[in-house]
Amino acid sequence: MINPHKLGVHKLLKHIPLNAIFDAPAKARLRKAVNIADLRLCAKQRAHKMVFDYLDAGADDEISLRRGKDAYSELEMHFHILSGLKPPLDLSTKIFGQDVKLPFFGCPTAGNRMFHWEGETAAARAAAHHGTLYGLSSLATTGITEIGKLCSGPKVFQLYVWKDRELVREVLARAKEGGFHAMALTVDFTWYGNRERDIRNDFSIPPKYSLNQMIEAVKKPAWTYDFLSHEPYTYACINTEVPADSLAAFVNSQIAPEFDWKDAEWLLGEWNNPSAVKGVCRPDDAIKAVETGFTTMWVSNHGARQLETSPATIDVLPSIREAVGPNVEIIMDGGVQRGTDICKALALGADSVGVGKPYLYGLAAGGTEGVIKAYDILKVELDRAMGLLGTGTVDDLKKRGPGLIKRRHSSARDYPDRYAYERGYGGGVI
């Protein structure tokens, strides 16, 4: 199919610097954002509808997506007073054995250039700026070498359950050469989740240039000019020569639903470095993963984008900590919208917390500046929450956390704002 990139339109437009003009309103909105919900609205106003809904959506009826956010509201913070603390607190910790300045980081996510032309480089720069872990997806639109040059700090490379073992060996070798300290195997993606917003929007990479998609593109000139004035996307960690639209069929054919624990053992033998199993929601699976040789349990339900009515990760976290004991590293992601959410996860058993949607909202809203702002927001909120709770360090929070966080039954009073849904908060719409 003929499209603007095949006609070489991007080669012409890249010499016409109109990005600043189209992006001026987006930058003004970004400056006014005070929380992650604001960043979500900024992203919604700048990004193509198809792209925003891909980022924002969950599976099926999005029950797990809403529950993942609501679950934090059911956890109260029973704070100590007169703790003798003053800001800023020491938020440093270790992730995969590497020193970091923040106990949270951006999860590896596919196709970042879809949201903003800077793509993964924006997230890498933000991670370097804040001194935290960077996570690169094997379906990234920026290559391993380029990320390695931008981000010299701790890095984790995310891998799917591929059929082709030679492909796996090749990608892992490049990750090692690129300075990646750890590998995370995503195990909850053996089937593709039913994301009905994508179906309704006829989501595709690149766009299909249907009448509806072109109308939506006209509505979002900043995103559209970005897309048309830059090179087409490729899945750069796998094959930079094949465009993302052609490679999609290859990716689908390479996912191995039959991948099992024996295959995981083989993979760990190929890597021989710190490794996480990403997608743990059950204590028995966590125990099996430790026995298999994984060094880190990554509690995740894939952002509520896979199995509908899967549990909120914050709800299963304590049981997984109890199952594996105090010495096994645990990362948790899912539903995080506030620094208080990160604080609660650290208190209930996580050693660090991954965030996905929050930093991608920042990326879609304003590239590097937007991702840095997302981290800034969460850092300030976490610092405040820990200080008011009476815990001065991450280690102190983890040690005393179970006695500081208590569950209560939710009620309509937890969600008094009738416009919460419009701001991206899933629960308690009245």
The residues annotated with a catalytic role in the active site are 302
Which two three-digit tokens encode residue 8?
A: 């070489």
Q: What is the 3-state secondary structure (H, E, C) of the chain?
A: CCCCCCCCHHHHHCCCCCHHHHHHHHHHHHHHCCCHHHHHHHHHHHCCHHHHHHHHCCCCCCHHHHHHHHHHHCEEECCCCCCCCCCCCECCEEECCEEECCCEEECCCCCHHHCCCCCHHHHHHHHHHHCCCEEEECCCCCCHHHHHHHCCCCEEEEECCECCHHHHHHHHHHHHHCCCCEEEEECCCCCCCCCHHHHHHCCCCCCCCCHHHHHHHHHCHHHHHHHHCCCCCECCCCCCCCEHHHHHHHHHHHECCCCCHHHHHHHHHHHCCCEEEEEECCHHHHHHHHHHCCCEEEECCHHHCCCCCCCCHHHHHHHHHHHHCCCCEEEEECCCCCHHHHHHHHHCCCCEEEECHHHHHHHHHHHHHHHHHHHHHHHHHHHHHHHHHCCCEHHHHHHHHHHCEEECCCCHHHCCCCCCHHHCCCCCCC
Give the Cα separation of 368 and 106 in Å (integer).
13
**Residue 236 φ/ψ region, left for φ over 0, alpha for ψ in the -120 to 50 degree band, beta for the rest:** alpha
Cβ-contact 141, 111 below 8 angstroms: yes
Q: In the beta sheet, which residues pair with residue 156?
A: 135, 182
Give the Cα separation of 142 and 300 in Å (integer).
24
